[in-house]
Structure 1
Amino acid sequence: MSSIIIDRLTADDGTLECSVRASADLERFVTDEPFRTSYDVPIADVPDGVLAIPVLAQICPVAWANGADVYVDEVDATFARALEDVAESLSAMYDFIDGGTLYARSTIDPDPEGTDETGLLFTGGVDSTYSYVRHREESPTLISVRGWTITPDAGDDEKWDALRTRVSSFAREHDCETAFVESNMLSFLDHPMLLAHYKRHVDGGWYSSVGHGLGLLGLCAPMAYARGMTDLYVAATHWEGIDLEWGSRPDIDDRVRWAGTQCHHDGYDLTRQERLDRIADYVRTEAPTLQLQTCNDRMDGNCGACEKCYRTAVGLRLSGLEPDDHGYPFDDGDYHRLRRSLERGEWVLGQDERHMWADIRERARDTAPATPAERTFFEWLESVDLDDLISASEPPLSHRLLRAGARNTPNAVYNTAYPAWTAAKAGLRLVRSDK
């Protein structure tokens, strides 16, 4: 019987740790590394059933993809029901989600003391900044997570320090509190192997396409319980009318809950360009020096030369803002460089980027170009087949063959070859961050 066992769960001050054991057929998806998460609030008094939520939120989608059962000593009853709802949503989205059963020795139904505090997963990008603007009267606690786009590895210390500094500065300026969460939620699972098995079924990586809605929200549960947080928001990446297979959607995030806390998928009623419009309104009335941070390559500012930076800069111009004033070096010459890079397929793009460029194209039709260079670019964007830009961005054949080889390798052989696979995985696109 396929199974995953959660045991030896401990909470020491602000650090949560537990071990994860898998049956032989699932060993390739679980490393020997214990699951760990650190919070900047004490969690020792949080019930074990709530402490189990972060690891269950990461491991259950893996179990569901393999029809495996999950065993844990104690679980919050509200979250157990939420898992059933999320499994239903993921199963409707993906054929490979077969389900499984969560078994607990006991369930709990605690009644935490709520403080009416709200939380918002926050990076300072377009989506989370719009959610802040929308909920600013609630003064939400801004929650930043290390473990996905910023890894726990020492090599990412500078990125994490830069993000903490930037979010803390934003919070001070806007009279909000902060919460910082650090976890090995990717590395305790074998994400290269998950990608090898399921990349052919998904548009992005495992975590972006399957796990990150439930995973990121569940990661916050002990902190939210300790703080008495009643509502937790995660900003939407997509919007109504886009039916993409993606790990964070209303039918996933709105169903995540535990004792005292309800989660919300926020901003799904607006396109990305419309969110930029709302941010622009806020800039003009309250925050003229607001800086956005969307770059995947650096955290201490925006590189101005990646697809995401270019896309955000163009969107800012369409909303009537000058990109240079809000964190994006951009001039008319960048329109030509952007077009050339898109035509050459220099970036690996997915269907979500296709929809975002379509959103920009739709807005450009109703916006008078400010310069000849802008007019030339928008005329090209109107004429180009966006699907061609996506197909031009296929990963190299060597990466696809590497995934196929790992997927079909017996466990014993894979375990022997793992060091070589780990070295080669650096070339694979494991995850995609929010857009």
Structure 2
Amino acid sequence: MNNISLNQIVINDNQVDYFFNTSEKIKKYVCREHLFFEFNDDLTEVPESILAIPFVANLAPLAWITNSTILVDQLDQSFFQCLKYIKKAYQNMYPNVPFNGEIIAKNIVENTYEVEHEAAQLFSGGLDALSTYVRIKNTKPILITEYAWHIDKVEKSGVWEGDKSHVMDFSAKQGLKNVLIQSNYGTFLNASVIDKDFQKKLGDSWWHGLHHGLAIITAAIPIAYKLKVKCIYIASSFFEGYKAKCASDPTVDNEIKFASGEVFHHGYDMNRQEKVKVIVNDSKNYNSKVNLRVCFRNEENCCECEKCVRTMVGILAEGQLPNDYGFKIQRNLSTHIKEFLELNVKFFNKDKIMQWELAKMRMEENQKNIISKDLLAWFLIYDFTLERKKALLTYRLTNFIPIIKRRMNEKINKFLIQNG
């Protein structure tokens, strides 16, 4: 049997370190046997059974797909009991991979508290998160922002500094408490090796398909316990009726329980364009500017990536200008969007096209309020499926010889490796 054993939890004021070891057969899936979280709050009074939750959550999907056992000394009773439902939800999502393995705790501890805060929200400042905030802001949520990409310790990151500055400024303006969490939960596992062994069967990557939802949510549980929070809200990426495999899904997230707290996957009742509308309407109603933070790995919105441009189009479809929502772009918007599509539409899959079509449909019904009339002239008749086919054909004809050479080289290299 393969084991993942938690040897020690070390608490040093606002940092929690987890030291563990793994059996030989699954060592290849682990970059380092050390997981850590740093908070901007002291955690010394949080019990070990609660602190063990993020460790178990980050490794549980790996244990399940490798038929391994996670061994811990203590674990919260509510979380321990919900694991079987989370496991079942994953199994339903990925029927081609058996979810076996188990979590064993020497001591199952019942933790309870009297609720003092109605809500905490995982908050990045992005479109999904901001639309959720607008809809629950009457609860005065504690805003929790995370950065997962450190290695062995906290090191300076321009991206994190940008995230932190953005959310702290937002929290201050809203008069809310802000919790900041830094970790290496995005790097301590060897995602590329896990993907090599499981991506084909799963039909998704480790990070997107199994890891990130549990990791993000449970990183917030120790502080939610300390602050006695009733519910942690996480904003949805997808919407009801749209079938997608994803680690963050209501069938998984809504099963998570801890002590006296719970989790809610919020916004699943709205598509992305409807979320844009919620934000725009709130901004207009309160006559306040809103800065969306779309590029989560850039220091500010680049205005060049697909997610940035798609969000800009969504804002335009609501009759607003992207520059009023955190997108610093000086050139003509119609030209910028057209040139982006000329270069990138060939990379769009059906899911991306669906998202762009939502903005297009909204633009069509809201024509009288669209500020960029030159965009309106061509975008409403733009056929994404047809243009993608044309762009792919042009790309393949232009790059035919290089593509053949690359494929031949790959076959030759494979042959040489197999035959010594």
Instruction: Calculate the TM-score normalised by the size of structure 1.
Output: 0.84
When structure 1 is superposed on structure 2, of 171-180 and 16-25 the one drifting more is 16-25
Please tell me whether residue 176 in structure 1 is matched to residue 182 in structure 2: no
State the percentage of identical aligned residues.
22
Aligned to 2:102: 101
Give the residue type in structure 2 aligned to 1:339. Answer: L
For residues 51 and 155 of structure 1, what CA distance do their matches in structure 2 show?
A: 23
For residues 126 and 152 of structure 1, what CA distance do their matches in structure 2 show?
A: 31
Query: SS state of the match for residue 295, structure 1?
Result: coil
Please tell me whether residue 86 in structure 1 is matched to residue 118 in structure 2: no
Return closer, same or farther for 1:389/1:52 CA change in 2, 3 Å cut-off: farther
Aligned to 1:420: none
Give the residue type in structure 2 aligned to 1:22. Answer: T
Aligned to 1:340: 342
For residues 153 and 362 of structure 2, what CA distance do their matches in structure 1 show?
A: 41
- Ranked by relative contact order (alpha carbons within 8 Å, sequence separation 6 or more), the top structure is 1
RMSD after superposition? 2.8
Return closer, same or farther for 1:30/1:293 CA change in 2, 3 Å cut-off: same
Query: SS state of the match for residue 67, structure 2?
Result: coil
Deviation at 1:39, TM superposition (A): 1.2
Gaps of 5+ in 1: 410-435
Aligned to 2:3: 3
Return closer, same or farther for 1:35/1:351 CA change in 2, 3 Å cut-off: farther
For residues 250 and 66 of structure 1, what CA distance do their matches in structure 2 show?
A: 24
Q: List per-residue Cα deviations over 1:247-285 (Å, max 9, x = no partner).
A: 111101111110021101000000000010111110111
For residues 23 and 365 of structure 2, what CA distance do their matches in structure 1 show?
A: 57
Give the residue type in structure 1 aligned to 2:278. Answer: R
Aligned to 1:142: 143
Deviation at 1:297, TM superposition (A): 4.8
Aligned to 2:359: 360
For residues 193 and 377 of structure 2, what CA distance do their matches in structure 1 show?
A: 45
Aligned to 1:132: 133
Aligned to 2:399: none
Aligned to 1:372: 374
Contact 1:117–1:141 under 8 Å retained in 2: no
For residues 254 and 218 of structure 2, what CA distance do their matches in structure 1 show?
A: 12
Return closer, same or farther for 1:19/1:97 CA change in 2, 3 Å cut-off: farther
Deviation at 1:202, TM superposition (A): 4.9
When structure 1 is superposed on structure 2, of 178-187 and 322-331 the one drifting more is 322-331
Q: How many residues align?
A: 396
Query: SS state of the match for residue 52, structure 1?
Result: helix
Return closer, same or farther for 1:181/1:97 CA change in 2, 3 Å cut-off: farther
For residues 80 and 294 of structure 1, what CA distance do their matches in structure 2 show?
A: 35
Aligned to 1:412: none
Return closer, same or farther for 1:336/1:173 CA change in 2, 3 Å cut-off: same
Aligned to 1:62: 62
Give the residue type in structure 1 aligned to 2:356. Answer: W
Deviation at 1:60, TM superposition (A): 0.2
Deviation at 1:165, TM superposition (A): 1.0
Deviation at 1:385, TM superposition (A): 7.0
Query: SS state of the match for residue 124, structure 1?
Result: coil
For residues 390 and 124 of structure 1, what CA distance do their matches in structure 2 show?
A: 35
Give the residue type in structure 1 aligned to 2:382. Answer: W
Q: List per-residue Cα deviations over 1:305-331 (Å, max 9, x = no partner).
A: 111110000000111211111122261
Give the residue type in structure 2 aligned to 1:227. Answer: L
Q: List per-residue Cα deviations over 1:381-405 (Å, max 9, x = no partner).
A: 3663779989999xx989xx89xx9
Give the residue type in structure 2 aligned to 1:62. Answer: L
Query: SS state of the match for residue 384, structure 1?
Result: helix
For residues 323 and 278 of structure 1, what CA distance do their matches in structure 2 show?
A: 15
For residues 303 and 258 of structure 1, what CA distance do their matches in structure 2 show?
A: 38
Gaps of 5+ in 2: 397-402
Query: SS state of the match for residue 118, structure 1?
Result: strand
Deviation at 1:361, TM superposition (A): 3.5
Give the residue type in structure 2 aligned to 1:217. Answer: I
When structure 1 is superposed on structure 2, of 36-45 and 329-338 the one drifting more is 329-338
Aligned to 1:164: 164
Query: SS state of the match for residue 379, structure 1?
Result: coil
For residues 344 and 283 of structure 1, what CA distance do their matches in structure 2 show?
A: 35
- Highest Rg: 1 or 2? 2
Return closer, same or farther for 1:194/1:383 CA change in 2, 3 Å cut-off: closer
Instruction: Calculate the TM-score normalised by the size of structure 2.
Output: 0.87
When structure 1 is superposed on structure 2, of 115-124 and 266-275 the one drifting more is 115-124
Contact 1:214–1:248 under 8 Å retained in 2: yes
Query: SS state of the match for residue 336, structure 1?
Result: helix
Deviation at 1:298, TM superposition (A): 1.6
Contact 1:354–1:386 under 8 Å retained in 2: no
